Structure 1
Amino acid sequence: MTRRLPGTRSRLAALAATVLALAVGVVGSPGPAGAAPGSPDEGSDAGRLAIVSVSNPRPQLVSGGDVLLRVTPPTDVAPADVRVDAGGRNVRPRFVAQPDGSLLGLVTGLPLGSTRVTARLADDPATTASVDVVNHPRTGPVFSGPQQKPFYCQTTAFGLAPAVQPLCSAPTVVTYQYRTTAGQFAPLDDPTSRPDDLATALVDGRRVPYVVRVERGTIDRAVYELAALYDGRDPSPTRPDRSWNERLVYTFGGGCNAGYHQGAYTGGVLDDLFLSQGYAVASSTLNVLDTNCSAVISAEAAMMVKEHVVETYGPVRHTIGWGGSGGAIQQYTIADAYPGILDGIIPGISFPDPVSVIGVVSDCRLLKRYFDAGAGEAGTFTDAQRTAVSGFRSFSSCASWDATFASRATATDSCDPAVPVAARWDPVTNPDGVRCSFLEQLVNQIGRDPRTGFVRSPLDNRGVQYGLTALASGAITPEQFVDLNERVGGLDVAGRPSVARTAADPKALAAVYRDDLVNSASQGLRTTPVIDQRTDLDLLSSGFADIHTTEWSYVMRARLLRANGTAANQVIIETSPDPATAGAAAAYQLDAMDRWLTRLDRPAADRPTLRQVLAAKPADLGDGCYLGPTQRITETLTYPASGRCGALFPVAANPRLAAGGDLTLTALACRRTAFDPRDYPVAFTAEQQQRLRAVFATGVCDGRRPGLGEQPPLRPWLRY
């Protein structure tokens, strides 16, 4: 007989469980005669039976054959009087009563496809709650679409067993590390031992041995890593580790490349900043953009690894994204297109998305090629004039792009060493080989041009007036402007320089906007807490400039403002590259994000509103900059830069902005208007006008209008 328990949990808790159940599509079956569908028995004082997926709030996207579920009985029913079956199989022994009165259980052995998991009351089997769990292979894919082939395995780089492509699976290995009193991580063969130089970690005010469990294995064809403090017991999802603070930091690595290999490193998990406070830390090789330049694949890998973390350690209160450069790209794009995987993000030296950036990167290649040619008026460009044309604080930023990532848009130059030379594309000797362009990672979204065999390209520079702001300011002459635009050229389908300007494929343009590959900031980012870590690398003391220029933080802010009417959920904090200062800033940002999310903690299926996000933001958190490790200025940061922080950390532009582009930089291929010499603050000669009309026969970019093909994204959580 079901035992009715008066007042063991509040009506409010029961109502919250009901709302959560409805949010993920869980509905109770009809109860006793006369009761509304899914309602509790008549005579029950409150609540209703509910079941939800915990390890993945989207139960239709579960992977690996298991899922952590929570069953919440009515408030007056004892947990012992609940029965649970999965596909007709009794799984109730897997469930353990929790302090809040719910039951938490890891259901294993799920077959591929759909399985209905049903909870019912022992003495009232007609009252049920169920959830349909759709299980996918541990090797993927879940929603990213057909996987790349060939796919070269690199499991041995992590000490795992050799693997066979294309799935590249290897058995999981667990090792242990400890933190020494000298501040280093060291191997620990026996995790129960206590070396003399063992440090301690501070978790929720408690000192615990600083011993770390490190797990490595394969998920979604990637190698994943998971690290967390170890309290002497094997981790359990129903009895959380006492050294864990119930929070997860998910790290992402930088770069951008074509893929076709598993990857030899992750975003990194042995990090004292996180582990010393009790965070679990996870990442995978497909969360390194230099291995995989697809936000869709990265989102899938992060979702699957996070699911495994929850099924290993238990429910996560919130997940914080962390990482710079390409790691920042993944955070911004996943937060917008696949909201809920990350609850808050801390992107460093950020960019908004690869597709937006590659246009600027290609511009730099073309400009450097033009300046290096040294013919005609090009030879008269001084260093200051080259910088003015580029928009950067130094033209060396363009040179840096050309020397690093510009080749990633080509078919052969950027293949990872893991891809054998014999397997690589050659137009004559191997026309069916691996094309090492970053666009290859986006084939499931953009499609392939059947005429060329290449992925359709959204790259375009038709109508772009290079050096427009330099001309307007008087930094370059009219003849220099004409000559530059006359001879800058473009890139062909294989990424090689061409005389003609680059023309985007209309289908590619439509796809990158529709699928949010050009980050619209209009979906999940609207309600995601963001602390943008901007280390100022625009002009280093050596005079050399990095590729990670500051304007990109403000490009993202401009998109948030355009899409949502506010960017108040994005905080930008600028620092110098000084390690002590950057370290102090990172510690503060992690603490501030944790406090922000703690005030927002809610069931994973319940997204906060923008008003709730802004209300929860800590009062001490705002835009600003660090003068040193112990001195932070809090003031609104602007573009163009202003205030004390603006004086310390000036913000420049880039070639597209210096060509008159809108700050959002979403117009990959601009809409054009007829060239009119009256629109310029300089006088062109008749001969120069004739040449410009020839260059811009189809018109010049009109920065006031949306780009060709530009449209709102279809919806979040797209599947391919």
Structure 2
Amino acid sequence: MITAEVVMGKKTGFIFLITLILGAILVAVFRYYPHHDEASTRQINAIAQPNANTLLNFTPHVSNVPRPAESFEFPIALGETGPMTNLYSGPNQYPFFCMTQESELGQPLVDNQQGLGIPVYSGEQVIGYSKDCSLPSQLFYFTLIEQGGSFSAVRLNEETARSHHSSPLFRVEQGTINRFIYTLVMPISRQEVGNRQGQSQWNKKLIYQFNGGSGIGYRQGRQKATRVMTRQAQQLLDGYAVISSSGNKTSYTYNMLLAEDTARRVKRQFVSLYGEPLYTVGIGGSGGGLAQYLIGQNSQGILDGLIPLYSYPDMITQTTYALDCDLLNNYFTFRADNPKAWRDWERRRLIEGLNAINEFPQKAGFLQPLNQLMAGFAPSFPDGNSECINGYFGLSAFINNPRQGFLRPFFSDEVIAQTRWSYWQDLKHIFGTDEQGFGKSTWDNVGVQYGLNALREGHISFDEFIHINHHIGGWKPQSEMRQEEIALPLGTRIPIWLTLWGNHNITKASDGPASRHSGSIPAMEQAYRSGQVFIGKVDLPIIDARHYLENELDMHHMSASFYSRVRIAQHKGHSDNHVIWVAHKDHNPTTAAFAAMDTWLLTMKQNPQLSAAAAKPVSLQDTCFNEDGSIYAAGSSVFDGQWNNKPQGQCQSRFPMFSTSRIQAGGGWAGDLFKCALVSVETAIEKGWYLPFNARAHLDILKKTFPEGVCDYTGRDVGRPSDL
């Protein structure tokens, strides 16, 4: 007779065999993986030292502080280089990897002979080095060709451009400003070829294109003219001019002060050539959306209207719940007393807040049995997936681990060893450093009661609630973090992101609960003051648009639009300048958003006394769209729901929204709290925070689990300066 135990034993044995095979494959792959000592001939082997440079005084908030007068004479002459040092955002960062070749612009100019930065070649001979990646400003000509509903940008030589008749023509200028690659795209006639300032086809409206991604600095970034053009092809055909910079792509930095400094100068280069536009509207998704929120909040004179796509309010408050993801994944995989209970992925959603779906495949699911086996657990393949994994896997290491975020083969082993690779280090001149030179972190989870809402609603037991909070722990101090790696049979160690959920960088329970991580209050205060946090202080027209992607476990969750709305309403008392559009993934509302924004901005131009809220067209409302582009519902209440404690609206019903781990722990929907004020467990019980669950009978175990107290989400953020 075949028993269940025999079946399970065979299944485990099969998984064990597959895991060993995967391990062997990884060993083989790693042997051919480009090690740092085998890296390209463009590798950085020595780090330059930055000169002192102006850093804006942020007190009380960057939006209240005037910017210094421009010190560089614009426009940059053709054949000359733009400024290599920013105007007011602090010292240059080194190492800094040049990416002009990746942008199809050739090698950067030599700026030293001391071996600093990347080598510059003539043939096979090194003729010098470039630490600041400068390029002379130069002109190119392109046309746009449509085929099958998509556009491609084709470069033309000057002679061909002069005789070009059949399709639109564009002049592109590229060079470097603040060490980043800038791009200006202007629609022109063929008679204007060779005339740098010709603009007869321009409609006098300007688009600043922002782009997203996750970055921690140390790279110039790639910017191809073809990519800038195809992203805004329809708008270029409609007569808009488009400008952008690799410094405004968050794949390369989330330093929003540097991003603002760079955007201001890129626009100044444009205006010095072509004059002031009627208006400048921002466009960009993900990090390119939050950059608009922050530049629109922090500064004047750059943007007049915002079209953030797939946006968050900012990067830094996103890390609050994003860095919970691997803590929770680590708990569910390695620390839970009953792991089978958490193989129901919809139960995980009760704790994580973000969506999770049973039987949804994981791209890197093979890593789970591999890590379990090496950790002494019975291996199992995951039978579901979550946004925490599908959207955020690897980001905790890249953003938070100073030993992890380098990008090989750009840097030698010596440079890697000397550099601390993290988001916090990218902003060290703003946030400050600790005694060991590590950039101070704002992330904090002291007193967070993970799964509190699920306990109150009866979805998890009290024992499960206690076990999660006893064992989840926190991220270790940066000085104690190690690069992720995995030990395979025969002792082989592979130093790539294979230590599942960074478990060796997470604190463990010993005599008491696993210790939590306490963030730096001075760093939090500086994050607020320097404008890295969106506090809702924006009066510009905003159309926040996104596709509905929750069912795909995409990291661009719909709720992020409402964090922004809550913050705007908290700051201004209303959010009438903020419109939210959510569309079925097969309908792109961007062209309609440009048309609506054009009407809105022209109304303000014609009536300068009107605020953005007063000038908003009556027809422009919160809206959700069907697959064919038709409107499913529109109006002031269509997105009502849990986030504003109102009955569910039509769009909220059509496109359900999820939350975050901190909301599930009792936090608010603004998501802008770094460090909660703490109260005793006794006080929390008296205030009824556990009801209808009777917590009074469990006072002792709660006090042992939360020895420092629990979060009071009715209070202010301890990290927020009181004068804001």
Normalised by the length of structure 1, the TM-score is: 0.73
Map of 2:635 onto structure 1:
635
Q: Distance in 1 between matches of 2:97 and 2:133?
A: 8
Please say if residues 516 and 713 of structure 1, whose CA atoms lie closer than 8 Å, have aligned partners that are also in contact. Answer: no
- Cα separation, partners in 2 of 1:272 and 1:389, compared to 1, 3 Å: same
Q: Quick check: 1:483 aligned with 2:467?
A: yes
Deviation at 1:673, TM superposition (A): 0.9
C-alpha deviations, 1:621-678, integer Å up to 9, x for none? Answer: 1101111344123222224373221121111101111111111112101001111346
Question: Residue 310 of structure 1: which of 271, 275, 292 is its match?
Answer: 271
Counterpart mapping for 1:59-458 below 5 A: 60-62=68-70, 64-66=72-74, 138-163=83-108, 164-180=129-145, 182=147, 183-189=151-157, 190-194=159-163, 198-199=166-167, 210-231=168-189, 232-233=191-192, 241-265=199-223, 268-270=228-230, 271-381=232-342, 382-394=344-356, 396-407=386-397, 408-417=399-408, 419-425=410-416, 430=417, 433-449=418-434, 451-458=435-442
Map of 1:613 onto structure 2:
612
Classify the secondary structure of the residue corresponding to 1:366: helix
Please say if residues 211 and 248 of structure 2, whose CA atoms lie closer than 8 Å, have aligned partners that are also in contact. Answer: yes
C-alpha deviations, 1:114-166, integer Å up to 9, x for none? Answer: xxxxxxxxxxxxxxxxxxxxxx9712210111111121111112222322443
- Cα separation, partners in 2 of 1:400 and 1:418, compared to 1, 3 Å: same
Map of 1:695 onto structure 2:
705
Please say if residues 141 and 161 of structure 2, whose CA atoms lie closer than 8 Å, have aligned partners that are also in contact. Answer: no
Map of 1:551 onto structure 2:
559
Q: Distance in 2 between matches of 1:511 and 1:235?
A: 48
Structure 2: state its 5+ residue gaps.
1-65, 109-128, 357-384, 482-504, 509-514
Read off the aligned partner of 1:675 and give its amino acid letter.
V
Map of 1:83 onto structure 2:
none
- Cα separation, partners in 2 of 1:165 and 1:192, compared to 1, 3 Å: closer
- Cα separation, partners in 2 of 1:577 and 1:486, compared to 1, 3 Å: same
Q: Distance in 2 between matches of 1:229 and 1:338?
A: 28
Q: Distance in 2 between matches of 1:418 and 1:618?
A: 52
Q: Distance in 2 between matches of 1:398 and 1:533?
A: 22
Q: Distance in 2 between matches of 1:345 and 1:713?
A: 28
Read off the aligned partner of 1:649 and give its amino acid letter.
F
Classify the secondary structure of the residue corresponding to 1:669: coil
- Cα separation, partners in 2 of 1:241 and 1:645, compared to 1, 3 Å: same
- Cα separation, partners in 2 of 1:181 and 1:474, compared to 1, 3 Å: closer
Q: Distance in 2 between matches of 1:236 and 1:713?
A: 52
Which structure: greater helix fraction?
Answer: 2
Read off the aligned partner of 1:446 and give its amino acid letter.
F
Shifted more, 670-679 versus 228-237: the winner is: 228-237
Map of 1:532 onto structure 2:
544
Q: Distance in 1 between matches of 2:169 and 2:392?
A: 44
Shifted more, 399-408 versus 585-594: the winner is: 399-408
Read off the aligned partner of 1:253 and give its amino acid letter.
N
Q: Distance in 2 between matches of 1:265 and 1:380?
A: 47
Read off the aligned partner of 2:87 and give its amino acid letter.
V
- Cα separation, partners in 2 of 1:187 and 1:265, compared to 1, 3 Å: closer
- Cα separation, partners in 2 of 1:502 and 1:165, compared to 1, 3 Å: farther
Please say if residues 74 and 268 of structure 2, whose CA atoms lie closer than 8 Å, have aligned partners that are also in contact. Answer: no
Counterpart mapping for 1:438-587 below 5 A: 438-449=423-434, 451-494=435-478, 496-499=505-508, 500-522=515-537, 525=538, 527-540=539-552, 545-578=553-586, 581-582=587-588, 585-587=589-591
Q: Distance in 2 between matches of 1:140 and 1:639?
A: 48
Please say if residues 572 and 624 of structure 1, whose CA atoms lie closer than 8 Å, have aligned partners that are also in contact. Answer: yes
Kindly report the root-mean-square deviation, in angstroms, between the aligned alpha carbons of the 2 structures.
2.7
Percent same amino acid among aligned pairs?
A: 28
Shifted more, 360-369 versus 507-516: the winner is: 507-516
- Cα separation, partners in 2 of 1:576 and 1:194, compared to 1, 3 Å: farther
**Runs of 4+ residues deviating >4 angstroms:** 193-196, 234-237, 682-688
Deviation at 1:353, TM superposition (A): 1.0
Shifted more, 625-634 versus 255-264: the winner is: 625-634
Classify the secondary structure of the residue corresponding to 2:612: helix
Q: Distance in 1 between matches of 2:134 and 2:606?
A: 35
Classify the secondary structure of the residue corresponding to 1:213: strand
- Cα separation, partners in 2 of 1:269 and 1:59, compared to 1, 3 Å: farther
Q: Distance in 2 between matches of 1:639 and 1:300?
A: 38
Map of 2:41 onto structure 1:
none
Please say if residues 236 and 313 of structure 1, whose CA atoms lie closer than 8 Å, have aligned partners that are also in contact. Answer: no
Read off the aligned partner of 1:452 and give its amino acid letter.
Q
- Cα separation, partners in 2 of 1:314 and 1:476, compared to 1, 3 Å: same
Deviation at 1:503, TM superposition (A): 0.3
How many residues align structurally? 558
C-alpha deviations, 1:431-472, integer Å up to 9, x for none? Answer: xx22111112212211111x1211111110001111111111
Larger relative contact order (C-alpha < 8 A, sep ≥ 6)? 2
- Cα separation, partners in 2 of 1:683 and 1:615, compared to 1, 3 Å: closer
